[in-house]
């Protein structure tokens, strides 16, 4: 147990530092400060021009949805980055337990996703003149944290796929695009075709974004309990699927000697 | 002159073949803008702005992909050459450095042109958005000029960010602001007035206006002319900057270090 915790913490920290050794302020600020604020502004202006939604609707939707960028890209990079550095075979040859190994890597990613969404909420709020009540900030932060966890679950899933797909950045971009359309960040679910709304219900972020909007609108935590449970449950489901796939693809790679073939 | 044209054409074709075989530069450049276009079509369909605004947004959304395909990849192109170990070879080539880099960014914009067609078809067949083009020849010319203009803007971005090791992040950051400021999706009139001068010095603003003018049947030659003038200015500034940077890197022997 103690060694698993050590692996969870130290492995995650080391991976985060390795990942973020290239995430200097020159990358951090454009990617995780400016870009999410601009995305919120872009869709707010499109909403104004299209005559749909409100600035608050688009700010919350896009700020929370942008947490998917670190959650998907950084998790995918935990595998593709190792491959690029030539350390993936060493990692998988190690006797380290896989669950703490990969879950440890997801913890800094969740924190990063949370921070990105909160910065976008504040920065975008200042730019667009949207005020979130002070009393809503703590519940909103909690909702964002759960949503980041849930999306990092999808990230574990994409990390597993990255064992078989070389272009994990393409995969992460596709995931981000799907969430942009389906999660309700920009189009209310009731305005989506029914099959899209059904798919949205099985994706991370959908329930989190809905909960964030309710909280920002003054609803109490009691009214969003169901949404948060669904969001967390979906995150857990994706983590489990991701871990099973990681084990399966690792075994396949060992059996067929194809670890570096992709 | 013939030699320059031949160099640009061959380098463009060579780079285009490389990019068309890359999942990131090829496939994603076509698919990624469709996510945004779909979101925007759904928003306009749900809103109260009407069909005219939807058609205008559809034209803008189709050009988004040209800039998407160019911005991030252009900004990081010289860093990529450096990583591959080919930057020194490009600098040492007897041809002017700017004439080697421009076809590179033009190939990115050309990949983006695929996405332009894909987005128009997507809008037509999935969302039933019919864009009636009043002046087809002028429309095609305006698209051609806009693709060249975006390629040249990418060239300026590429040579300006050669000293910036993480330039891809800069290109990534500039993707959406250009969509917004150049009026790809919303009219300039709804943006804050302090942004208007920024839009005026960006060639895609005028290129897009010329495309929309050709589609709507209003005169757009002034916009097209301004787009061409700005494209030439970008080219001249880019050539000067690239010459200065290459001279500086040669003098200080730090081409591979920045």
Rounded to an integer, what distance in angstroms lies between the CA atom of residue B234 and that of residue B241?
Answer: 10
The answer to whether B46 contacts A52, with C-beta atoms less than 8 Å apart, is yes
Specify the pLDDT at position A9: 80
Biggest CA-to-CA distance, chain A: 57
Report residue A140's pLDDT band, with 50, 70 and 90 as the boundaries. very high
Position A197 pLDDT exceeds 90:
yes
Chain B CB contacts of A192 under 8 Å are 42
DSSP state for residue B232 in the 8-state scheme: H
Residues of A with CB under 8 A from a CB of B: 22, 24, 26-27, 30-31, 34-35, 38-39, 41-43, 45-53, 167, 169-170, 173-174, 176-178, 180-181, 186-188, 191-192
Crossing angle of the two packed helices A75-85 and A134-161, in degrees rounded to 10: 40
- Please name which of A14, A17, A33, A15 lies closest in space to residue A25, comparing C-alpha atoms: A33
Q: Which of A28, A37, A50 to probe the B interface (max B CBs under 10 A)?
A: A50
Specify the pLDDT at position A23: 66
Position B195 pLDDT exceeds 60:
yes
Nearest CA in chain B to A196: B42
Helix (H, G, I), strand (E, B) or coil at B183: coil
The alpha carbon of residue A190 is apart from the nearest alpha carbon of chain B, in Å, by: 10
Nearest CA in chain B to A54: B47
CB burial class (10 A; 0-12, 13-18, 19+) of residue B85? exposed
Rounded to an integer, what distance in angstroms lies between the CA atom of residue B258 and that of residue B251?
Answer: 14
The alpha carbon of residue A40 is apart from the nearest alpha carbon of chain B, in Å, by: 10
Q: Which of B76, B166, B195 to probe the A interface (max A CBs under 10 A)?
A: B166
Specify the pLDDT at position A157: 93
Taking only the tens place, the pLDDT of each residue in A67-97 is 999 999 988 888 888 888 888 888 888 888 8
The verdict on B8 touching A (C-beta cutoff 8 Å) is: no
Please compute the mean of the pLDDT values over residues B170-185 and round it to a whole number: 91
The total number of residues shown for chain A amounts to 262
Position B239 pLDDT exceeds 60:
yes
- Please name which of A120, A112, A116 lies closest in space to residue A44, comparing C-alpha atoms: A120
Position A261 pLDDT exceeds 80:
no
Position B170 pLDDT exceeds 90:
no
The verdict on B40 touching A (C-beta cutoff 8 Å) is: yes
The verdict on B48 touching A (C-beta cutoff 8 Å) is: yes
Position B230 pLDDT exceeds 90:
yes
The answer to whether B187 contacts A178, with C-beta atoms less than 8 Å apart, is no
Chain B CB contacts of A30 under 8 Å are 169-170, 172-173
Nearest CA in chain A to B24: A170
Report the residue from A31, A170, A186 with minimal CB separation from B24: A170
Nearest CA in chain A to B35: A177
The answer to whether A45 contacts B190, with C-beta atoms less than 8 Å apart, is yes
Report the residue from B24, B49, B176 with minimal CB separation from A35: B176
Specify the pLDDT at position A72: 93
Chain B CB contacts of A27 under 8 Å are 166, 169
More confident residue, B26 or A151: A151
Specify the pLDDT at position A16: 75
The answer to whether A181 contacts B38, with C-beta atoms less than 8 Å apart, is yes
Taking only the tens place, the pLDDT of each residue in A145-191 is 999 999 999 999 999 998 888 778 888 999 999 999 999 999 999 99
Rounded to an integer, what distance in angstroms lies between the CA atom of residue A234 and that of residue A231?
Answer: 5
Position B151 pLDDT exceeds 70:
yes
More confident residue, A36 or B78: A36
CB pairs under 8 A between A and B: 107
The answer to whether B173 contacts A31, with C-beta atoms less than 8 Å apart, is yes
Taking only the tens place, the pLDDT of each residue in A205-259 is 999 999 999 999 989 888 999 999 999 999 999 999 999 999 999 998 888 877 7
Nearest CA in chain A to B53: A50
CA distances from B164 to A60, B78, B157 (A): 32, 10, 11
Chain A CB contacts of B186 under 8 Å are 45-46, 48-49
The alpha carbon of residue B182 is apart from the nearest alpha carbon of chain A, in Å, by: 12
Position A18 pLDDT exceeds 60:
yes
Say which residue the tokens 């909103």 belong to: A140
Please compute the mean of the pLDDT values over residues B13-42 and round it to a whole number: 84
Q: What is the ipTM of this complex?
A: 0.88
Specify the pLDDT at position A196: 95
B95: left (phi over 0), alpha (psi -120 to 50) or beta: beta
The answer to whether A170 contacts B27, with C-beta atoms less than 8 Å apart, is yes
SS3 content of chain B, % helix, strand, coil (to 5): 80, 0, 20
Rounded to an integer, what distance in angstroms lies between the CA atom of residue B95 and that of residue B100?
Answer: 7
């Amino acid at each position: 147990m103690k060694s698993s915790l050590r692996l969870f913490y130290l492995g995650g920290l080391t991976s985060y530092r390795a990942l973020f050794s290239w995430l200097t302020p020159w990358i951090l600020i454009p990617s995780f400060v400016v870009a999410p604020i601009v995305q919120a502004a872009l869709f707010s202006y499109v909403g104004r021009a299209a005559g749909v939604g409100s600035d608050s609707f688009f700010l919350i939707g896009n700020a929370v949805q942008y947490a998917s960028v670190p959650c998907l890209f950084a998790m995918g990079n935990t595998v593709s980055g190792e491959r690029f550095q030539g350390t993936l075979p060493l990692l998988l040859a190690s006797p380290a337990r896989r669950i703490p190994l990969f879950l440890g890597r997801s913890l800094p990613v969740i924190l990063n996703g949370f921070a990105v969404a909160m910065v976008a909420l504040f920065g975008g709020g200042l730019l667009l003149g949207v005020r979130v009540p002070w009393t809503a900030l703590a519940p909103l932060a909690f909702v964002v944290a759960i949503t980041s966890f849930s999306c990092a679950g999808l990230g574990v899933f994409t990390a597993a796929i990255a064992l078989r797909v070389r272009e994990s950045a393409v995969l992460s971009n596709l995931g981000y695009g799907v969430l942009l359309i389906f999660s309700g960040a920009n189009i209310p679910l009731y305005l989506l075709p029914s099959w899209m709304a059904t798919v949205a219900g099985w994706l991370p972020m959908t329930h989190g974004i809905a909960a964030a909007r309710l909280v920002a609108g003054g609803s109490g935590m009691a009214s969003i309990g169901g949404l948060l449970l669904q969001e967390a449950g979906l995150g857990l489901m994706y983590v489990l699927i991701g871990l099973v796939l990681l084990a399966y693809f690792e075994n396949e790679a060992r059996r067929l000697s194809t670890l570096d073939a992709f | 002159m013939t030699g320059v044209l031949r160099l640009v054409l061959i380098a463009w074709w060579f780079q285009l073949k490389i990019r068309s075989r890359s999942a990131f530069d090829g496939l994603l450049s076509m698919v990624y803008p469709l996510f945004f276009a779909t979101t925007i079509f759904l928003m306009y369909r749900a809103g109260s702005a009407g069909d005219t605004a939807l058609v205008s947004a559809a034209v803008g959304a189709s050009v988004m992909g040209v800039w998407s395909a160019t911005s991030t990849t252009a900004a990081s192109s010289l860093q990529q050459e450096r990583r591959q170990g080919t930057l020194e070879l490009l600098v040492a080539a007897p041809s002017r450095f700017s004439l080697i880099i421009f076809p590179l960014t033009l190939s990115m914009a050309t990949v983006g042109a695929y996405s332009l067609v894909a987005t128009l078809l997507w809008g037509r067949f999935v969302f039933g958005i019919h864009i009636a083009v009043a002046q087809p020849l002028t429309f095609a010319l305006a698209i051609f000029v806009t693709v060249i203009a975006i390629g040249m803007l990418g060239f300026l971005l590429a040579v300006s960010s050669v000293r910036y090791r993480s330039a891809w992040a800069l290109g990534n950051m500039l993707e959406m602001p250009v969509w917004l400021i150049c009026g790809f999706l919303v009219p300039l009139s709804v943006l804050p007035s302090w942004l208007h001068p920024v839009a005026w010095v960006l060639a895609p603003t005028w290129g897009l206006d010329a495309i929309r003018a050709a589609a709507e049947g209003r005169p757009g030659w002034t916009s097209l002319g301004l787009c061409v003038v700005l494209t030439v200015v970008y080219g001249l500034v880019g050539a000067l900057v690239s010459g200065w940077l290459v001279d500086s890197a040669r003098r200080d022997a730090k081409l591979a270090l920045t």
